[in-house]
Amino acid sequence: MDPVKLHFDFRDIFRAPRLALSGKKIWTFMVGNFLGYSGYFLFTYIALFSSGISIIQSWERFGLYPLVNVFNLPWFSLLIYFAGVLCAFIMLSLSCAAVSRITYKQLKGNDFYSSADAWNYIKKHWHPVVFTLIALSLIIAFFVLMAGAFALLGKIPFIGEFLFAIPYPLYFLGALFTLYSFVVIVVASIYIPIIVGSYEEDTMGTVFQSYVITWSQPWRIIAYHLILLPIFSIATAIFYGFFQLSFEFVNSVFGWVIGDKLNHIVDAAVSIVCPPLYAYGSVAGLSGTEWLSSGILAFFFFLLMLAVIGYSLSILSVGETLMFIIFKMKSDDDNILARKDEEELEEEENEDVPLDKLQEDDSSQEDNALEESTSDSE
């Protein structure tokens, strides 16, 4: 199929809610968010347990969403807790890269590129998603350490004054670049998964693209987000509204037939998934089978909540992918949708292999026939 025709300007951002409304994109975020949440949940409860709080006490206080006061944790528990935060952040970034890959393929005209294909791609390219921010942080750390080293040299009697005054322009430029790098980190935290998913860059390439985007497209980054964020809010509210109406419709029909027992089961399930809305005590008055039913129902409610979150994140990921495509076209006159990506090149190579083998087989048969005819003549 032919690539999708884009305007390569702000008008393309309005496509984000429609392109994001895709089962495989939402499912990709659901899987990634569930894995990230599971890691965060596990590490957080281990951190609470290691700090002297029992699992039962932690569940009664936090439930499914443990948000702890890190200042009350000992240092070893704090390390465990931040390991969970890091796990959630990495899975969110990898999911964003996978959805960006699906969007990129869709815009190229490949509507059959699946979530499994995207995750297989991420398995090969997860390194820049994880290590680019670390590389940017090391760049800033290098300049800070160099500044500290030259500051120490400035304490040398007599010579130190000149070591500060003469290379001062270099110090100033280094400080300016360091401050600029802090801005790059903010921009890169948004676009790293997009660059990896749609532009197939490695870690150093992603670092370079982050600096280029920040330098060449600052006003477009701001202006396009002023368009995307309201669209994101409105589309998410509409999507959630349809889920809420469906929820109320099912409860009304079945509640009219079953009665108060269903309401108690539903309330108990909602109290587990959305504790601010209902008290946990509503589970206590249920029978054994009703409690089990509410637990199963809570699991499905949790998946529906992940779907709403998945769609909202999908809008952001699709919107950022469209922005990056526009940025490359504006800054480098590079339509990345028109070029062949690595998977297309691999497919072409695989298609050429049987033909090459066939030619080799034909040539070998001709050589054998020639040798046989030569031996017969002798």
Question: For residue range 162-179, what is the model confidence (pLDDT) as tens digits?
Answer: 888 888 899 999 999 999
Tens digits of residue pLDDT in 36-70: 999 999 999 999 999 888 888 888 888 888 888 87
| pLDDT value of residue 281 | 47
| pLDDT value of residue 154 | 83
Q: Is the pLDDT of residue 160 over 90?
A: no
Give the count of beta carbons closer than 10 Å to the beta carbon of residue 233.
12
Q: Predicted confidence band at 347 (pLDDT cuts at 50, 70, 90)?
A: confident
| pLDDT value of residue 131 | 95
Q: Region 87-114: what's the mean pLDDT?
A: 95
| pLDDT value of residue 371 | 53
Residue type, 349: E
| pLDDT value of residue 241 | 96
Rounded CA separation 45/59 (Å): 9
Is residue 186 within 8 Å of 179, Cβ to Cβ?
no
Q: How far apart are the first and last CA of the chain?
A: 59
Total-model pTM: 0.86
DSSP state of 6: -
| pLDDT value of residue 358 | 42
Which range (80-94, 129-143, 222-236, 355-369) has the least confidence? Answer: 355-369
> In whole numbers, what is the pLDDT of the chain averaged over residues?
87
Q: And the tokens for 325?
A: 């495509």
Give the count of beta carbons closer than 10 Å to the beta carbon of residue 200.
19
CA proximity to 35, closest of 96, 100, 92: 92
Give the count of beta carbons closer than 10 Å to the beta carbon of residue 139.
17
Is residue 323 within 8 Å of 221, Cβ to Cβ?
yes
Query: Residue 83: left (phi > 0), alpha (psi -120 to 50), or beta?
Result: alpha
Tens digits of residue pLDDT in 197-249: 999 999 999 999 999 999 999 999 999 999 999 999 999 999 999 999 999 99
Tens digits of residue pLDDT in 255-310: 788 777 888 888 888 888 876 555 454 555 677 788 888 889 989 999 999 999 99
| pLDDT value of residue 354 | 57
Q: Region 92-102: what's the mean pLDDT?
A: 97
CA proximity to 191, closest of 235, 131, 98, 129: 129
| pLDDT value of residue 340 | 87
Residue found by looking up tokens 């909202």 in the block? 312
Q: Is the pLDDT of residue 378 over 50?
A: no
Residue 277, classified by CB atoms within 10 Å of its CB into exposed (0-12), middle (13-18) or buried (19+), is exposed
Q: And the tokens for 156?
A: 């040398």
